[in-house]
Chain A
Amino acid sequence: MGMLNLVLSNISRKPATRLYPFEIREPFKEFKGRIVFNPENCILCGICQKKCPPDAISVTKADKTWELNLFRCIMCTECVNGCPKGCLSISNERPKTGAKETVKVVVPIVDKPKADSPKAASSKAASSK
């Protein structure tokens, strides 16, 4: 009898599911969508690389690059909590479908001469799609 009531009440109710590509739920503000890297303060210490459980981050001191493999990242946020300079943060936007596998950022080290064109690197880097 209980089931009959459920069925009857469900007839007048709107569907519990969404019509996905046309109706997209906004991500919650607490959602761990993707890692955002701000290279301005980065000192290439490599702590994020050491802490990363799936080895998704690789920091190369010689080339001054910071690289994140989006396909390996498990959004555990160990790197965000471990970064001594606060360069890493979480965004609640998820990476777009068809995103590139890796995000590579050239880090402008402050006390070096501005040979690596820091402007271009920093603006492009953070908004990795």
Chain B
Amino acid sequence: MTTIIPFGPQHPVLPEPVSLKLELDNDVVVGVLPSLGYVHRGLEKFIDTKDYNQTTYICERICGICSALHGITYTKSVEKLFNAEVPERAEYIRVIVGELNRVHSHLLWLGLFADGFGFESLFYECWKYRESVLDVLERITGNRVIHSISKVGGVSRDLTKEHIDMILKMLDTLEPQIKDIEKVFVNNYTVKKRTVGLATMSKQLAYEAGTAGPTLRGSGNAIDVRETEDWDIYRDLGFKTVVEKDGDCYSRTKVRVKELYESIKLIRNAISKLPNGEITTPIKGFPTGEAIMRTEQPRGEVVYYVKGNGTKNLERLKIRTPTFANIPSLLLTLPGVKLADVPIVVLTIDPCISCTER
């Protein structure tokens, strides 16, 4: 006989509300039924009342953690409608802010993950280091969480010499700090005991379930939009996709830790290649036609579809977020897992419910 136990919508490990109905046989999960819709705000429809410039700020408010990349993806998709050439300096600034965003998001996740298996002191360490990244973002963009750096046609603020020195100095102190916490996440007995071999997903299964981001790359699929999409800038910066083969919670953690180094490398390369010049290009008129833009968020691939009809408002905005793609993988990996391990498995997809429900 099986028992149904509700996991969420309010649960200590979940920062946002998602409900999973777990079907248990003793303490082993045999079936999962997710239910979403607790934080639906109707933002895709809300853009009807705002023009295409103002929509940037709505898109940034979809998620508090990957806000910069939501804004960047939206503005890039609208620039596609206009066939606008954005100044190269603006593109580099977008990459720098986007990657800083990824660093702070991954540090946040590592902290939450440590908290998920009860490693409180590691959680504090991760969030302490994250604070320096947030301070840098606040100084570059003027805001701590919602950065509002990208706007249609370029970026809203320029990087000064002082900012660049500050970023490089912060990265120099952050890198050894990340090495410290990496040792714990990779070698610690407790962490390994809780994560190795848990909720394993094969390469084929991860691909077929349509997962995205570190969940996909943790199963050996070398798919990263930064490398595959025609956003040339990442190729110039020497980006390499991070892959781990095992497909369990441990390898998904390792992917995220290694991506921190990759992001730091990208920021350093972008700063060394930062060209001089304008940061915005004027854009006139109203958008027409359709465009799709894909970028790699901390949690995976985000897809923006925009359709303009020649008025100041967009006719349609459709967003497919990475967590939406990753939730089906939970249904495949959770059966067979013990109830005590469910929080860890749910956290390894880095659930961002506000993104998913918009």
B50 A53 Cβ-Cβ under 8 A = yes
A81 B156 Cβ-Cβ under 8 A = yes
Smallest CB separation, A59 vs chain B (Å): 17
Measured between beta carbons, the chain A residues less than 8 angstroms from B146 are: 74
Question: Assuming A30-B140, A77-B148, what are 11 further A-B pairs, CB within 8 angstroms?
Answer: A1-B187, A2-B180, A3-B184, A6-B125, A16-B131, A28-B139, A31-B138, A31-B143, A74-B146, A77-B156, A90-B142
Measured between beta carbons, the chain B residues less than 8 angstroms from A120 are: none
Measured between beta carbons, the chain B residues less than 8 angstroms from A2 are: 180, 183-184, 187-188
Top 8 A-B residue pairs of the complex, sorted by shortest distance between their CB atoms: A2-B183, A32-B142, A53-B54, A53-B57, A16-B128, A2-B184, A28-B139, A3-B184
Alpha-carbon distance between A43 and B69 when the two chains are bound, in angstroms: 37
Other-chain contact of B121, A3, A16, A28 (Cβ < 8 Å):
A3
> How many chain B residues touch A (Cβ–Cβ < 8 Å)?
27
Q: Is A75 an interface residue (CB 8 A)?
A: yes
A7 B143 Cβ-Cβ under 8 A = no
Give the residue name and chain of the B residue nearest to A2 (CB): B183
Measured between beta carbons, the chain A residues less than 8 angstroms from B128 are: 16
Instruction: Find residues 78-92 in chain A having any chain B CB closer than 8 Å to their own CB.
Output: 78, 81, 90
Q: Is A76 an interface residue (CB 8 A)?
A: yes
Alpha-carbon distance between A44 and B137 when the two chains are bound, in angstroms: 34
Alpha-carbon distance between A95 and B74 when the two chains are bound, in angstroms: 30
Smallest CB separation, B184 vs chain A (Å): 5
Main secondary structure of the interface of B (DSSP, over half): helix
Alpha-carbon distance between A51 and B125 when the two chains are bound, in angstroms: 42
Interface string of B147-164 (1 = CB under 8 A from A): 010000000110000000
29 pairs, CB–CB < 8 Å, chain A vs chain B? A1-B183, A1-B187, A2-B183, A2-B187, A2-B188, A3-B121, A3-B122, A3-B184, A6-B121, A7-B121, A16-B124, A16-B131, A28-B139, A30-B142, A30-B157, A31-B139, A32-B143, A53-B50, A53-B54, A53-B57, A74-B146, A75-B142, A76-B148, A77-B142, A77-B148, A77-B156, A78-B53, A78-B54, A81-B156
Smallest CB separation, A98 vs chain B (Å): 21
Smallest CB separation, B189 vs chain A (Å): 9
A53 B143 Cβ-Cβ under 8 A = no
Measured between beta carbons, the chain A residues less than 8 angstroms from B332 are: none
A75 B188 Cβ-Cβ under 8 A = no
A75 B180 Cβ-Cβ under 8 A = no
Interface string of A36-62 (1 = CB under 8 A from B): 000000000000000101100000000
A6 B142 Cβ-Cβ under 8 A = no
Alpha-carbon distance between A74 and B59 when the two chains are bound, in angstroms: 13
Measured between beta carbons, the chain A residues less than 8 angstroms from B125 are: 6
Smallest CB separation, B111 vs chain A (Å): 13
Q: Is B58 an interface residue (CB 8 A)?
A: yes
Given A3-B121, A31-B142, answer yes or no on A76-B183 (Cβ-Cβ < 8 Å).
Answer: no
Instruction: Find residues 260-295 in chain B having any chain A CB closer than 8 Å to their own CB.
Output: none
A53 B58 Cβ-Cβ under 8 A = yes
Measured between beta carbons, the chain A residues less than 8 angstroms from B122 are: 3
Give the residue name and chain of the B residue nearest to A25 (CB): B135
Instruction: Find residues 154-200 in chain B having any chain A CB closer than 8 Å to their own CB.
Output: 156-157, 180, 183-184, 187-188
Alpha-carbon distance between A28 and B143 when the two chains are bound, in angstroms: 10
Alpha-carbon distance between A7 and B139 when the two chains are bound, in angstroms: 31
Measured between beta carbons, the chain B residues less than 8 angstroms from A6 are: 121, 125, 180, 184
Measured between beta carbons, the chain B residues less than 8 angstroms from A28 are: 135, 138-139
B57 A74 Cβ-Cβ under 8 A = yes
Measured between beta carbons, the chain B residues less than 8 angstroms from A74 are: 57, 146
Smallest CB separation, A10 vs chain B (Å): 8
Alpha-carbon distance between A87 and B54 when the two chains are bound, in angstroms: 21
Smallest CB separation, B136 vs chain A (Å): 10
Smallest CB separation, B132 vs chain A (Å): 10
Alpha-carbon distance between A2 and B146 when the two chains are bound, in angstroms: 34
Measured between beta carbons, the chain A residues less than 8 angstroms from B135 are: 28
Instruction: Find residues 71-96 in chain B having any chain A CB closer than 8 Å to their own CB.
Output: none
Measured between beta carbons, the chain A residues less than 8 angstroms from B50 are: 53
Smallest CB separation, B292 vs chain A (Å): 24
